[in-house]
Amino acid sequence: MGNGANERRPAVVLLSGGLDSATVLAEAAAAGFAPHALTVAYGQRNDVERAAARQVAAAVGVVRHVEMAIDLRAFGGSALTADVDVPKDREAPDAPGEVPITYVPARNTVFLSLALAWAETLGAFDVFIGVNCVDYSGYPDCRPEFLRAFEGLANLATRAGVEGAGRFTVHAPLLKLTKDAIIRRGLELGVDYGLTHTCYDPTPEGLSCGRCDACRLRLAAFERLGMKDPVAYAG
């Protein structure tokens, strides 16, 4: 309390519309930042996520929500951006050290670069991203080493960093939380998970499949918490 809206420092929050990024947006707002949400439409198979991002941004109350289209289908290389089936009904995720087929080449580097460009424009030094190294340990660009390296890059690559106006920080408040802990924290912060979208492969009507790795992880977490996931599932 005590900080008026115009005293809050701006921060850029990467907002996919998923459960994690919705929680991170609420964290940024709760930490006293004036959140600017960035949603990158990268050519993923569905637009359901983007619609969810709009709803989440409106519900939390952002200063501005920018949606930017960067079509990574031009490169392909992932089950999310190429004509490759999304794995379903897998009991166990990939073996340790194995990078899942849903990995999108260099996605978080692309996203953080865009967030950095907007942050520098706004005079912001804080960028929030919903990466997590507990449940998705196979993604190399979700590791703490990567985030630290990107902070170093941000300070070398920008006028704001070179002029010493501040130091860029990449905030990843979910980095070491399990999915259950993320949901618990989000509920404390008032996140409406019914607005979020997680599924890699929703039906044309926008229902979650309930069978892809992302759905299974999410459903299992709600189940462990003794709660019903508020989003609609097919079948």
Contact set with Zn ion (CB under 5 A): 199, 209, 212, 215
Instruction: Quote the least distance from Cβ 207 to Zn ion, whole Å.
Output: 9
| CA-CA-CA-CA dihedral for 57, 119, 187, 48, to nearest 10 | 40
Nearer to Zn ion, 90 or 224 (CB): 90
Q: Minimal CA–CA distance to 130: which of 78, 56, 73?
A: 56
Nearer to Zn ion, 47 or 188 (CB): 47
User: Which of 90, 102, 171 is CA-nearest to residue 136?
Assistant: 102
* Min CB(233)–Zn ion separation in Å: 8
Closest distance between Zn ion and the C-beta of residue 212, in Å?
3
Tokens of residue 169, six digits: 């920080």
Q: CA-CA distance, 76 to 107, in Å (whole number)?
A: 12
Place of tokens 């990995």: 103
Q: At closest approach, how far in Å is the CB of 199 from Zn ion?
A: 3
Residue type, 51: A
CB of residue 218 to Zn ion, shortest distance in Å: 8
Return the residue matching tokens 């070179």: 162
Give the nearer residue to Zn ion in terms of CB position, either 11 or 48: 48
> Minimum distance from CB of 38 to Zn ion (Å)?
24
Closer to Zn ion by CB, 107 or 197: give it: 197
> Which lies closer to Zn ion via its Cβ, residue 116 or residue 212?
212
User: 31 Cβ partners below 8 Å, 6+ apart?
Assistant: none
What is the spatial distance between Cα 175 and Cα 94, in angstroms, rounded to a whole number?
Answer: 19
Nearer to Zn ion, 36 or 211 (CB): 211
C-beta neighbour count of 95 within 10 angstroms: 7
Give residue 100's Cα distance to chain centre: 17
SS3 29: helix
- Shortest Cβ distance from residue 122 to Zn ion (Å)? 34
Give the residue with the Cβ less far from Zn ion, 147 or 212.
212
